[in-house]
């Protein structure tokens, strides 16, 4: 009796031979990776390696110099504007600054993308959707507070709530733990794992926070500023055992960091 295994799910994001840069000058080339449903991928590397430039190309803010970015199997930069709009509604983005609208309270910050996608939604349905997103990030009681009234950690959570507005399968996070104290950073890491477990969301996070990398990342993409290319891709523990010396040093800080126990994998 033969047994068959299910084929792996199609990637949410597929990047092939990508080059990104400014005014025709590449800062990063030959980038290849995928993000699977429910996966958390950390993009890391020293300053100037192109992390933020890569992120801009992935979320539709900067046309690449070469290569392909596919969301749900569709080439984003080859698609028409209507198709791009539809693709943008299938992923969320939370920028390092939070990019919250300072003149709007949290309810309206989260409501805005929902209303843009579904302008005919009635007030009751909108309220339910917004409060659900805020509850998911632990801000159920802060709907009528403004960004300037929030702590740094709360603003990060609010930005994630807005990124979740349209039920994306993939969320991009730019330095989510930057500027946070270690305890608040650990709570944010726990939130990402909770959202992955509850909703099956995949995350791609640009980060330099070692604790976050070890706590949440299934795989790490290490970018090298010198060669302007990826240097390694794989699970962090695997890269420490078998990766290039520079990657091992980065992930262990020359032995000054002991990796915490890995969170249990989500089925």
Model pLDDT for residues 90-109, shown as the tens digit of each residue: 999 998 766 788 899 999 99
Between CA 15 and CA 20 the distance in angstroms is 12
* Choice between 9 and 42, residue whose per-residue pLDDT is larger: 42
Q: Which has the minimum average pLDDT: 4-18, 157-171, 177-191, 244-258?
A: 244-258
pLDDT (0 to 100) of residue 255 = 57
pLDDT (0 to 100) of residue 55 = 96
The structure tokens listed for 13 are 């994001």
Angle between helices 152-163 and 123-136 (to 10 degrees): 130
Which of these, 255, 156, 146, 266, lies nearest to 210 by C-alpha position?
255
Is it the case that residue 72 has pLDDT exceeding 70? yes
Compute the average pLDDT of residues 62-79: 96
Compute the average pLDDT of residues 55-59: 96
Q: pLDDT tens-digit profile of 129-157?
A: 999 999 999 999 999 999 999 998 999 99
Half-sphere exposure of 263 (CA within 13 A, CB side): 21
- Residue 66 has a CB neighbour count (10 Å cut-off) of 12
pLDDT band at 14 (very low <50, low <70, confident <90, very high): very high
Q: What angle do CA 98, 184, 219 make, to 5 degrees?
A: 75
Between CA 37 and CA 72 the distance in angstroms is 10
Is it the case that residue 258 has pLDDT exceeding 60? no
Q: pLDDT tens-digit profile of 154-198?
A: 999 999 999 999 999 999 999 998 888 999 999 999 999 999 999
Is it the case that residue 114 has pLDDT exceeding 50? yes
Q: What angle do CA 112, 116, 118 make, to 5 degrees?
A: 110
Mean pLDDT of the chain: 90
CB 175 within 8 A of CB 207: yes
pLDDT band at 263 (very low <50, low <70, confident <90, very high): very low
Compute the average pLDDT of residues 71-96: 93
Pairing state between β 40-44 and 202-206: parallel
């Amino acid at each position: 009796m033969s047994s068959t295994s299910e084929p792996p799910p199609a990637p949410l994001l597929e990047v092939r031979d990508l080059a990104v840069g400014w005014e025709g000058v590449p800062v990063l080339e030959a980038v290849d990776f995928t993000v699977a449903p429910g996966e958390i991928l950390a993009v890391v590397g020293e300053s100037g390696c192109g992390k933020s430039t890569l992120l801009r190309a992935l979320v539709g803010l900067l046309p690449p110099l070469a290569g392909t970015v596919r969301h749900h199997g569709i080439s984003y930069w080859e698609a028409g504007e209507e198709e791009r709009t539809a693709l943008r509604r299938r992923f969320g983005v939370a920028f390092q600054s939070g990019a919250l609208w300072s003149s709007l309270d949290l309810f309206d910050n989260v409501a805005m993308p929902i209303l843009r996608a579904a302008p005919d939604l009635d007030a009751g349905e909108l309220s339910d959707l917004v409060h659900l997103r805020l509850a998911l990030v632990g801000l159920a009681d802060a709907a009528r507070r403004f960004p300037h009234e929030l702590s740094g950690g709360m603003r990060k959570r609010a930005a994630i709530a807005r990124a979740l507005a349209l039920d994306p399968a993939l969320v991009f996070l730019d330095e989510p733990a930057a500027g946070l104290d270690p305890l608040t950073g650990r709570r944010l890491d726990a939130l990402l794992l909770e959202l992955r477990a509850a909703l099956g969301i995949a995350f791609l996070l640009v980060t330099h926070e070692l604790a976050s990398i070890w706590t949440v990342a299934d795989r790490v993409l290490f970018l090298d500023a010198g060669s302007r290319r990826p240097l390694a891709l794989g699970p962090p523990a695997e890269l420490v055992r078998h990766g290039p010396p520079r990657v091992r040093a980065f992930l262990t800080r020359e032995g000054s960091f002991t990796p915490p126990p890995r969170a249990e994998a989500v089925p």
